[in-house]
Structure 1
Amino acid sequence: MKNQQLMIIIYVILVVFSIMYATQPLQPLLAKEFNINMVQASQFTAVIMFSLAIAPIIYGYILESICPKKMLFVASLILLVTNLVLSYSNSYEMFLTIRVIESLVIPAIITSCMSILANSDKKNVKYNMAIYVAATVFGGMVGRVISGFIATEFGWRAVFISLSIALFFALFFIKKLSFEGDTNLTKAKLSDVVEILKDRRFVLIYSLMFTTFFVFAGLLNILPFRMKELIPNATESQIGLLYLGYGMGIVVSLLSKKIIKLLKTESNTILVGALIFTLVNFSFFSDNMIFVFFMLFVFCIGMFTIHSVSTGIANSIKESQKSLTSGMYLTFYYIGGAVGSVVPAIFYQLVGWNFTIILFISVLILIYTLFFIYKDDFK
């Protein structure tokens, strides 16, 4: 029964993360369709990132305690309807408004899924969370690759219709979940947040992940426009294939313990990931998209090495208030993604591709140097 529950949650996560990132390879197409610029097209992904950032803080105030199964069903139903409406959008304003509505329900679905995973099988929480991370990564990859393929073959509207069909099946599966418990959500008191941020280790880890995800989300967000710039007749299907390297996140997240053991300490592992992640940015100066495609695999290895280890550190520094420290980690992580989904697009539009890559390399060198200086804090 527990395996069935796990499979249902994995399926829901795959569909939801596919919806989150489905717009990314379609951005040049949507920009043309709605006659908008690169920065406006980037907002379709950024709004969801921003909502995921504030959700861990806001949800505790809106909902004292919730039934995750009920919230999962209702939020998924709303998401199904909004996706169908997206497929009929005929203006930038309408499309963005619907994405804003989606951005409010997606965190509810993710929160519910995590609650069910954490509380339905308490003996295997760590294993379930590793599976959860792998499922989010796989969903992000599938959403980008499949949406590019569907858009090329059947048009961009078919992408959102097909995702709605996938959600329709998810509703049937959610009904089969046996979990009936409530989840008590943490209210983030300002005094507790300030207390946590007085600890330099938290500030370092949060800043590290903010910057890393800023660069990661930023590059993946402007990449479709770069490909269109270099290869004007590139199809959405070809653009979607660029995101196959994202799959390396599954391998890294599942092998993170072995990688830490090999490199002796968590700090060393983060620094090795940081070195890979920074150096690979230099390869993006290349005009050869096939070379860039292969380098994206290395880029993702670096990113997910840092992410998988940093998550563990953020959860282990403080014995108490784990839900608040991990919630704050997610807040900094997704704010980095939201800012990264917009600011690099502005840079790219104003000063071009090469200067944007220089921006990425500069901020990474700064934050990783700081982490190197204070790495002994994590012993």
Structure 2
Amino acid sequence: MSYWLLLTCSVFTFFILYAVQPLLALFAQHYQVSPATAGSLMTLTMAPLAIAPLLYGVMLNRRNLYRVLQVVMVTLALTNALVPLTEQFWQLQALRLIQGLALPAALTAMTASIAIRYQGAEVSKKMSGYIGSTIAGGFLGRALAAGFAEYLSWQSFFWLNSLLLLALAACIRAHRAPIRQAHTPLRGNLSALLNTRILTLYASVFCMFFCFAALLNYLPFILRSTYAMTNTKNIGLVYSGYLLGALTTFVTPYLQKRCANIFSLLATVFLGYSATIALMFWHSLPVFLVAFTCFCASMFIIHATAAPLVNRLSSASASLTNGVYVSFYYSGGALGSFVPGLLYQAYGERAFLGCLLLVCLCGYLLIAVPQRLGTDKTCT
């Protein structure tokens, strides 16, 4: 399986995860449910992503990773094709839960295969490319879903994506050059991850994605209530700030080479991440759009730095190292996609943003600890 085919699979896999996000307000109206209940469509998908990678990281240790990816993509295609046929909201929730159980196997297989196939600085480069593909998938999934809902129908987008997933699954040749890992005892794998630098890095990633998932999940509601933006197409276009994140992932390896301490780089970007949330308290649409764009860029610099760094620091198997990373990442997303929404419903936008700012500053403190300890002083 070529690297570029893997990136293409990543793009369309992320369509599954994020296409519903700009449609949440539409679903809330269509199914007559509250914003927090509509937001559960993201929570139900991210909750398994927070737990399953821990199990999958162990299960995939001796599996053909490409075969796993192929089976998961077929599963996602079939469940995605059923989404437009749902008549009750609980049916839609059930399908999203099944997708959430399947997605972590695909994400763990893709990241583990990159970590196995490439070495040294090449891992950072290839992982940055992979993260760029997830950004592209996240943006295009949101933007195209919103565009289809405005000009055609949201149902047609889901069916089209299912066909593309089946076509890509057929292109994977899992029987050729299978990617497997050497078996490592579970106890040795786990003890390798019980390291201050690795654990604080995982925890900071949790904080990072908590904030990101929360803001992007409730962005349609904020744009409607605070800035009177009711057009689904325009809401989808606001997500274009997300695209700048894709550009920053490609300059991240350069930033890493220029820094004296990679944890210092992460801490600085976390402070910038916090500053963008603080700017959103100022109710001005131009300021919000600029802050949102910088918010996305900051998040992806952190992600593109942390993902290869944890692989470099860990001596555990690639599948378990990346499985735990995915678990922390999406556990933050699962909580972020729901808990701040309760604050938003009860106390409004300022309480919502205050929660995100507090969690983001916690992420900064988690990164600052290994920085003060002087660990990992070089970037290469």
What TM-score, normalized to structure 1?
0.89
The structure with higher relative contact order (CA 8 Å, sep 6+) is 2
Q: What are the superposed Cα offsets for residues 108-152 of structure 1, whole Å, 9 maximum, x if unpaired?
A: 333343455455677955443222111111111111111111111
What is the root-mean-square deviation of aligned Cα atoms in Å?
2.6
Q: Which residue of 1 aligns with 2:367?
A: 371
1:290-329 correspondence runs (5 A): 290-321=286-317, 323-329=319-325
Q: Which residue of 1 aligns with 2:63?
A: 66
* Counterpart-to-counterpart distance in 2, 1:7 and 1:371: 33
Q: Which residue of 1 aligns with 2:42?
A: 45
Q: Is the 8 A contact 1:116 1:179 kept in 2?
A: no
Q: Which residue of 2 aligns with 1:172?
A: 170
Residue 30 of structure 1, CA deviation: 0.5
Q: Secondary structure at the match of 1:291?
A: helix
Structure 1, unmatched stretches of 5+, are none
Q: Which residue of 2 aligns with 1:155?
A: 153
* Counterpart-to-counterpart distance in 1, 2:98 and 2:19: 16
Distance 1:355 1:66, change over 3 A: same
* Counterpart-to-counterpart distance in 2, 1:327 and 1:169: 26
Instruction: Report the more deviating stretch, 146-155 or 50-59.
Output: 50-59
The amino acid of 1:140's aligned partner reads G
Say which of 257, 268, 271 aligns to 1:272: 268
Q: Secondary structure at the match of 1:87?
A: helix
Instruction: Report the more deviating stretch, 209-218 or 159-168.
Output: 159-168
Q: Secondary structure at the match of 1:369?
A: helix
Distance 1:33 1:313, change over 3 A: same
Q: Which residue of 1 aligns with 2:101?
A: 104
* Counterpart-to-counterpart distance in 2, 1:342 and 1:326: 24
Residue 65 of structure 1, CA deviation: 2.9
The answer to whether structure 1 residue 222 and structure 2 residue 231 are counterparts is no
Q: Which residue of 1 aligns with 2:89?
A: 92
Aligned length: 374
Instruction: Report the more deviating stretch, 241-250 or 277-286.
Output: 241-250
Distance 1:172 1:370, change over 3 A: closer
The amino acid of 2:66's aligned partner reads K
Q: Which residue of 2 aligns with 1:196?
A: 193
The amino acid of 1:108's aligned partner reads A
* Counterpart-to-counterpart distance in 2, 1:221 and 1:142: 16
Residue 178 of structure 1, CA deviation: 6.6
Q: What are the superposed Cα offsets for residues 144-189 of structure 1, whole Å, 9 maximum, x if unpaired?
A: 11111111112322221221132233233225x6734153487884
* Counterpart-to-counterpart distance in 2, 1:366 and 1:119: 32
Say which of 183, 203, 206 aligns to 1:207: 203
The answer to whether structure 1 residue 128 and structure 2 residue 126 are counterparts is yes
Distance 1:191 1:43, change over 3 A: farther
Q: Is the 8 A contact 2:146 2:232 kept in 1?
A: yes
Q: Percent identity between the aligned chains?
A: 26
What TM-score, normalized to structure 2?
0.89
Distance 1:85 1:332, change over 3 A: same
